[in-house]
Amino acid sequence: MATILAIESSCDEMSVAILRDQKELLANVVASQIDIHKQYGGVVPEIASRKHVECVSAVLREALQTAGIAVDEIDAIAATKGPGLVGSLHVGMQEAKTLAIALHKPLIGVHHIAGHIYANAIENTIHYPCLALVVSGGHTELVYMASEFQFEVIGQTFDDAIGEAYDKVGRVLHLPYPGGPVIDKMAHAGKHSYKLPVPLDDGSYNFSFSGLKSAVINLNHKYEQRGETINMDDLACSFQDVAVEALSSKALKAAHDLKVKEIIVAGGVSANKGLREKMANSDIPVIFPPMKYCTDNAAMIASAASVMYKYKKFSPLDISVKPDYDL
């Protein structure tokens, strides 16, 4: 196995991790910009990349100090190649290239979603064939994995990603950014009392969340126009119930159809308590990543890179980032 230094900078987090033999996490430093982007109600790409430039060296130094290892103990340098915001990706990849050249180590360009999926391999062992339910701010996908590092996207969202739907609902309800964790918390204080449309159920493995999102926004608007107050906790609970039912039912259907050994959940929305509770007693084992690896972090990139290192999937030094990289 190997010791990997990985950098993740695809959106508004700059993170550097050092992972030994895929299981021993020596450092995972995450510098979040949430407090800055909060003021704008969402991530401002130009600000995100500029802030990454300002903090990348300090985050790298802190990770090396925390790990307490000499740089010659590092076997490879990894960075997120895409998908993500182009300027943000460039900062991490440029730093990784510089380190790879200076330390004479191989460079590994990692797919961000492969990272989210392999966040599940740090403290667990993945059993194949499996099905990954990918639920993040930019993606909602069902990915069939016949064996290690084989990805086949069998379903995806036609419109909003689930995290995007949470965040857009949060913005309209004037909740702090990002809306996902706030709505999750409110949902647990409320009850499912508002009737909302159930998202697409056409027998496929695809998803659609824009109808549900618009229904929540329209219902809130109707109450505002009438001068009545809607129960926000109940609205959050009604939205979350319908959303997690759509995710879990499709994932379970696909898992049965494809006879997988387990379902692994990946991406920021895997932190959602409603989804965790809903899938806890499924008739197929469902694995969630530990909370600390749910949202963007470099440990997950290092974990995916550990597998790529094993198969010698190295990248040339003139590798370019790919904002719309396919899995």
Annotated binding site for Fe cation: 112, 116, 296
β-bridge mates for residue 117, sequence order: none
- Both tokens of residue 4? 């990997």
At closest approach, how far in Å is the CB of 93 from Zn ion?
16
CB 207 within 8 A of CB 247: yes
Give the CA distances from residue 258 to residues 86, 192, 250, in Å, rounded to whole numbers and listed in that order. 35, 32, 12
CB 176 within 8 A of CB 34: no
Binding of residue 9 to ligand KG4 (CB under 6 A): no
Binding of residue 137 to ligand KG4 (CB under 6 A): yes
Binding of residue 136 to ligand KG4 (CB under 6 A): yes
Dist CA 169 CA 219 (whole Å):
11
In three-state secondary structure terms, 145 is strand
Dist CA 316 CA 271 (whole Å):
35
- Both tokens of residue 314? 């190295």
> Is the Cβ of residue 237 or residue 307 nearer to Zn ion in the bound state?
307
271: partner contacted, choices Zn ion, ligand KG4, none (Cβ within 5-8 A by kind) = ligand KG4
CB 134 within 8 A of CB 143: yes
How many residues touch ligand KG4 under the rule CB under 6 A: the total is 19
At closest approach, how far in Å is the CB of 292 from ligand KG4?
12
At closest approach, how far in Å is the CB of 272 from ligand KG4?
3
87: partner contacted, choices ligand KG4, Zn ion, none (Cβ within 5-8 A by kind) = none
Dist CA 267 CA 251 (whole Å):
15
Dist CA 85 CA 40 (whole Å):
17
Among 8, 95, 141, 167, binds ligand KG4 (CB under 6 A): 167
Binding of residue 136 to Zn ion (CB under 5 A): yes
Pairing mode, if any, of strands 130-135 and 76-82? Answer: unpaired
Dist CA 165 CA 118 (whole Å):
24
Among 95, 160, 184, 241, binds ligand KG4 (CB under 6 A): 184
> Is the Cβ of residue 27 or residue 161 nearer to Zn ion in the bound state?
161
- Residue 220: phi and psi, rounded to 5, are -60, -40
Segment near ligand KG4 (CB under 6 A), from 32-40, 63-71, 177-185, 276-284? Answer: 177-185
Query: Binding string, 286-325, against Zn ion, x = CB under 5 A?
Result: ----------x-----------------------------
Among 60, 267, 279, 300, binds ligand KG4 (CB under 6 A): 267
Which residues contribute to the annotated binding site for substrate? 134-138, 167, 180, 184, 272
Contacting positions for ligand KG4 (CB under 6 A): 11, 136-138, 163, 166-167, 178-181, 184, 267-269, 271-272, 295-296
Contacting positions for Zn ion (CB under 5 A): 136, 296
